[in-house]
Amino acid sequence: MRYLTLVSAALASHCVLAGDSPWYEQGNFRPVQRLEFTLSNSLDFDRQNASVVIRRADFPVPDVHEMWVTVVDPNLPPYEGPSEELLVVQGGHQLRAESNGHAAFHQMDDLDKDGIWDELFFQTDIEANSEKTIYIYLGQNIRGWNEHYTHANIGSYARHLMPFWESENVGWKIWFANAVDVYAKRRPMLMSHRLYMENLDGYGVSAIDRDLGSDIQRVAGSFGGGAICLFEDPEKPGAVSMPRFTPTQSELPFRSSWNAGQISDTRYAYDVVVNGPVRSMIRIKGMNWNSGNGFYEYEQTYTVFAKQSYTASKVEFTTFSPEVD
């Protein structure tokens, strides 16, 4: 995954920079500190909804609550403010009238689940071979609903647990415990919760609402939209080892695309790392994988981004013990 380059960051007080670019305000939120970040796009084409990640280790103020962070693009037109009717529905957390820029949807994600944020994530547009300035204002700000453009969850579906993750354009779920199943929508929307909450078939769901789309491929014994494998025999480059097709699984008294027992064969555990609003992440642990030529365990993370039609995958083997002659 290619992210925008973070060039520089500086913390300054409002009084010191009073003569610089105007400061963002929103309702009664009038911050007195801000961080200035310069983002660089060195590519020769424009980037739309490009992902920006700022790690806590690179953040000048690492000990900060998420309610004290407001990401602002000073070049975007400010929000004019809500109507009285909208305020009745959305209440006190509704965004108020802005000046000098527009707040960007962002999230501060705790990836290792230790209760401390690890990455600040947001998206922005930036032209080819250019730089742009983003401000992060510090100060308690309770206003601004973040619209969800991604979703992730673990659901019971077709009698077994599986992870779901999706953008408004494309969704993914794990079938046969290891292989990715892909479904597409005819209109941008989040809808995977309907699949597992209403027991809707991935192929038949379009009969209910055509805009919901459909599964667009068959997994069966394949990799589907992607799966982990190993090439263990250099003499047989066409032979692959997969976690769900093992010597133990092959001894089942019936034909199956599933693993055997969770104690005797490969087993899996799923976790939701992040559930939106602008990126969602699923983590999969594969354990007790005996390929017949080695023993392996791994952690795999799938990430989906707002306004995008792809998912990113990262795999780390926690145990890698091939048999060596």
- Concatenated DSSP letters of 219-240: -TTS-BT----B---TT-TT--
Last residue of a domain, one of 82, 106, 138: 138
- Which of 77, 107, 138 is the endpoint of a domain? 138
| CB 170 within 8 Å of CB 310 | yes
**14 confidence band (pLDDT: 50, 70, 90):** very low
User: Taking 80 as the threshold, does the pLDDT of residue 1 lie above it?
Assistant: no
Residue 94's nearest CA partner among 56, 144, 137 is 144
The upper half-sphere exposure of residue 125, i.e. CA atoms within 13 Å in the direction of its Cβ, equals 7
Q: CA 201, CA 195: separation in Å to the nearest integer?
A: 7
Whether 20 and 131 map to the same domain: the answer is yes
| CA triple 183-187-192, angle to 5 deg | 45
Residue 143 belongs to a domain: no
pLDDT greater at residue 151 or residue 13: 151
For residue 2, pLDDT over 90 is answered with no
Quote the pLDDT of residue 86: 95
Query: Domain range spanning residue 280?
Result: 150-322
Q: How confident is the model at residue 325 (pLDDT cuts 50, 70, 90)?
A: low
Which of the two residues, 99 and 176, has the higher pLDDT score?
99
pLDDT of residue 217: 84
Q: Does the pLDDT at position 5 exceed 70? A: no
pLDDT value of residue 4 = 56
pLDDT at res. 12: 40
Q: How far is CA 117 from the centre of its chain?
A: 15
> Are residues 309 and 286 part of one domain?
yes
The predicted pLDDT at position 178 comes to 87
Write the CB contacts of 149 (distance below 8 Å, at least 6 apart in sequence): 105, 167, 168, 190, 276, 277, 278, 306, 307
* Residue found under tokens 């994988």: 289
The pair of three-digit structure tokens given for residue 129, joined into one six-digit string: 């071979």
What does the CA dihedral 299, 304, 305, 310 come to, rounded to 10 degrees? 120
Provide the pLDDT for residue 218. 85
302: which strand partners? Answer: 282, 313
- For residue 150, the model assigns a pLDDT of 99
CA nearest neighbour of 136 among 243, 8, 226? 8
pLDDT score, position 41 = 94
Residue 13, domain member (yes or no): yes
164 shares a domain with 124: no
Whether 43 maps to a domain, the answer reads yes
* DSSP summary character for residue 249: H
Any residues with CB less than 8 A from the CB of 294 and at least 6 apart, and which? Answer: 230, 232, 241, 320, 321, 322, 323
State which of 138, 160, 180 marks the end of a domain: 138
What are the counts of helices (DSSP H) followed by strands (DSSP E) for the chain?
Answer: 3, 19
Q: What is the pLDDT of residue 13?
A: 32
Average pLDDT, the chain: 92
Alpha-carbon distance of 131 to 321, in angstroms, equals: 46
pLDDT score of 278: 98
Return the pLDDT at 7.
Answer: 47
pLDDT tens for residues 28-56? Answer: 999 999 999 999 999 999 999 999 999 99
Task: Return the structure tokens found at 104.
Answer: 């960007």
Question: How does pLDDT run across 209-251, given as a tens digit for each residue?
Answer: 999 999 998 898 899 999 999 999 989 989 999 999 999 999 9
Answer yes or no: is pLDDT of 15 > 50. Answer: no
Whether this model's pTM surpasses 0.95:
no
pLDDT of residue 21: 84
Q: Are residues 176 and 260 in the same domain?
A: yes
Give the pLDDT mean for 167-185: 95
Tell me whether residue 144 is in a domain.
no
pLDDT at 177: 87
Residue 255 is which amino acid?
R
How many structural domains compose the chain?
2
Residues 123 and 85 placed together within one structural domain of the fold: yes
Same domain, 119 and 268: no
118 shares a domain with 171: no
Q: Residue 79: what pLDDT?
A: 97
Same structural domain, 12 and 127: yes
Same domain membership, residue 24 and residue 109 = yes
